[in-house]
Structure 1
């Protein structure tokens, strides 16, 4: 394999792609190429259609500044303060941003990052996704933008399902064809995502469209289950009812991006973690995702791909605590929720005995965290063990003092990217986050991407979990089957 050696000009570097010349920047031995198109802008005839090829450009394309972000609104409520989310307008947003060691001596492993944001927010312009620390450690980082919300995950007559996942597949194909120009090895690609990005990573892992494009996977706090397109159509149907139009590609395409986003925001505002409501989701799809990822993993699909599954100790607290929802939940809410999801009264008693001081909202949050994330992750690891597949399981446990969120959802991101000194991290981590924890968490991800052990044993019958950052404990500690009574009782309910 031939690795291009970009020619520096002052602080600039240039790379020749089949579509044209890119001009990036170099600082501290790290090359950056931002807003690089992997597909044509999804507007006009390309709207609600699979991603189209990039048109070649003439001259040099500037890749020194972040590109446009997928159409989206700011986060609502306290999340707006805690999660930085820049919005950059423009139609050319199907792009990747790349951080790479400048002119590496040998092809480097590649990390493809799929951002989270409930399939409605996020981009590769988020400051905490800056890949400098990974590039410093010899890894090429590719951060992917994809269509969000109604543009990317509506279920519409006449349109393909999961257009946002189609975009991610197109980005992976772009990586396979082009990453060698940036010093990356297309035969050592790790796909990693958090939350909705983690769910995307799991879907990509089991998709027949990505075989040979992915060699390792990290799922951070990502649900492993996808529902049918019928269930996935709820949000698009709610938009259609609001506008009194049919839920078809033709009708939605007649709306401008701004009009559709405005209605999407109105529908979203009527939903909450307590009342439920419509939400976008990844749907099972005969072409891309014929079987839900949890079922596919249980059947041995992708058993040849090493997997790291990570959750945060207190996932639910990001949604339940800052806006006071945790204080509004009563015991009857727990009863309604457990009946809806098939959770027994016995299991609720097990959770209460484990935390007798917990308020009803905290009990419901703990059950919800395990129901959505921890129990499915352990079940997937158990199933993969029976197929001889390599799996590691991690729990992030460092507690932020901000709003008493503790180790809440998404808190691990600035630790994974070793970005604690970024001002964007401070609203969530507080003023004194642990650099030792960041060094350990980032180092574990680097090791896994390189094909090494992350710092704790591979999953086996004893259920070893690498717990990172627990107060008063070693920075990384192997704990076998943490909180096993709760997990076991809930798993019996779901069996």
Structure 2
């Protein structure tokens, strides 16, 4: 063991937990919040984990729901860890307790992305050491993915992955005080599918009271009517059953391992050129009674929301799974961006004003941002490249490969400070959004722009242009 690392035991309502203290940061990794979803519990609602009688060894990351990555090469390092205890969470906290004279720390609960099919809470990009440095406790959560988490099957509760997240939030509410956290100051945050899950839980009556602030990074809406959502998902699982030679039922899919199911889902998705989210939360149940957009008009109005997207998302000159230079010229890429018809605009950026419009009457407020720093490796402000800046972990493994050798540290400082301030309860320093043309957004990292200056322009992903100081420029 490193001489600078020591064991630290925290006594929680869930039982004693033994983590590791390194310098001024405590880490408690892979703490199960639910029983393993195996056997009769595999396609069932999550069951709260029994109390630990002996200190739980939280010195290493727990098992992940992901068995197969979404792509051979992904922007974010996303380790797959074997094991049955996939419903676990990790806590990274300042190595100072409120008993030492400090007030309880605010908490940010992080939901990873991966299209509801993949992703890993054990990524080094999600390490909360910079949050701990700034007086925030970070919690990363694992939840069921793919068929096990989101396939609509007969005699199976819907939206099992969301039910996992709700149970994890309940665990945080009951146990985080033992780590020095304030259960009354919880920010729910996520990126990509994790950001979409944040919006879903913000719109859900089941999420009421479990978190007090919300952050959505590059998350979209999966609207549509309940029957249409479920019909599309059922059509996909029927084809999946044919591929695997089993009926698309609880018993049929239960006869296949999670790894085999995930391999088959990714292969079928590629063959069908399927929706980017072939398996995802569906509406029309007790968790999401109505569409997310409709739910946001009536729920979560007391929860401040920060949301935004990157400038290029999946429309860069290159992508991690195919890093070759784009076949399109810079002029063609710029024209597509200005047209507002890219995947970036239709799936990600368009969600921002729609959400703001749904929350127009929210007393808590909605604030938009736009991440515009172009990675020299990926050829634009690509999906996921904002994460090391928001987490302020530019030295994490995989960052150089995605962002190049010298990503701007001052941009990470500014973005992380804005996020930490929001988590601490401070209102962002720019005007609230209401979902109308001309809504301002914090603009991060556009070449030539001040790093923390408020944009005076239009955040309109559909139109795809921004007016800056009276001059219209392509986004």
Verify same fold: TM over 0.5.
Answer: yes
Q: Does 1:17 align with 2:17?
A: no
CA contact (8 A) 2:389 2:415 kept: yes
2:381 pairs with one of 389, 395, 407: 407
CA deviation after TM superposition for structure 1 residue 317, in Å: 2.6
Q: Does 1:468 align with 2:418?
A: no
1:58 pairs with one of 47, 53, 57: 53
CA deviation after TM superposition for structure 1 residue 425, in Å: 1.3
CA deviation after TM superposition for structure 1 residue 482, in Å: 3.0
- The DSSP-based 3-state class of the residue aligned with 1:85 is coil
Show the counterpart of 1:296.
Answer: 295
Q: Does 1:94 align with 2:87?
A: yes
Q: 1:308 to 1:478 in 2, by over 3 A?
A: same
Greater mean alpha carbon deviation, residues 356-365 or residues 170-179:
356-365
Show the counterpart of 2:472.
Answer: none
- The DSSP-based 3-state class of the residue aligned with 2:454 is strand
CA deviation after TM superposition for structure 1 residue 132, in Å: 0.7
CA deviation after TM superposition for structure 1 residue 262, in Å: 3.2
Aligned positions, number: 451
- The DSSP-based 3-state class of the residue aligned with 1:477 is coil
CA deviation after TM superposition for structure 1 residue 295, in Å: 1.8
Show the counterpart of 1:352.
Answer: none
CA contact (8 A) 1:190 1:217 kept: yes
CA offset digits 1:86-122 (Å, max 9, x no partner): 1110001100000111214111111000000111212
Show the counterpart of 1:340.
Answer: none
Within 2, Cα distance between the matches of 1:485 and 1:162?
A: 29
Show the counterpart of 2:473.
Answer: none
CA deviation after TM superposition for structure 1 residue 294, in Å: 1.4
CA contact (8 A) 1:306 1:391 kept: yes
1:374 pairs with one of 349, 359, 375: 349
Within 2, Cα distance between the matches of 1:287 and 1:35?
A: 29
**Structure 2 counterparts to residues 341-380 of structure 1, below 5 A:** 357-358=332-333, 366-380=341-355
Runs of 4+ in 1 over 6 A off after TM superposition: 359-365
Unaligned runs of 5+ in 2: 466-475
Show the counterpart of 2:304.
Answer: 306
CA offset digits 1:331-354 (Å, max 9, x no partner): xxxxxxxxxxxxxxxxxxxxxxxx
Q: Does 1:240 align with 2:241?
A: yes
Within 2, Cα distance between the matches of 1:72 and 1:364?
A: 38
CA deviation after TM superposition for structure 1 residue 457, in Å: 2.5
CA offset digits 1:257-303 (Å, max 9, x no partner): 3332332232233254xx75872211114210111111222x23211
Q: Does 1:262 align with 2:229?
A: no
Greater mean alpha carbon deviation, residues 161-170 or residues 319-328:
319-328
Unaligned runs of 5+ in 1: 1-8, 331-354, 490-495
CA offset digits 1:209-251 (Å, max 9, x no partner): 1211111110111012344222232432221121233221122
Within 2, Cα distance between the matches of 1:177 and 1:195?
A: 27
CA deviation after TM superposition for structure 1 residue 470, in Å: 1.1
2:137 pairs with one of 136, 140, 151: 140
Show the counterpart of 1:209.
Answer: 206
CA contact (8 A) 2:340 2:463 kept: no
- The DSSP-based 3-state class of the residue aligned with 1:232 is helix
CA deviation after TM superposition for structure 1 residue 484, in Å: 4.7
**Structure 2 counterparts to residues 144-155 of structure 1, below 5 A:** 144-155=141-152
Within 2, Cα distance between the matches of 1:363 and 1:116?
A: 27
CA deviation after TM superposition for structure 1 residue 403, in Å: 3.2
Show the counterpart of 1:70.
Answer: 65
Q: 1:358 to 1:417 in 2, by over 3 A?
A: closer
TM-score of the superposed pair, with normalisation by structure 2: 0.88
Show the counterpart of 1:283.
Answer: 282
CA offset digits 1:112-139 (Å, max 9, x no partner): 0000011121222101000110111111
Show the counterpart of 2:421.
Answer: 447
CA contact (8 A) 2:113 2:192 kept: yes
Show the counterpart of 1:83.
Answer: 76
CA contact (8 A) 1:234 1:278 kept: no
Cα RMSD (Å) of the superposition?
2.6
1:185 pairs with one of 182, 186, 204: 182
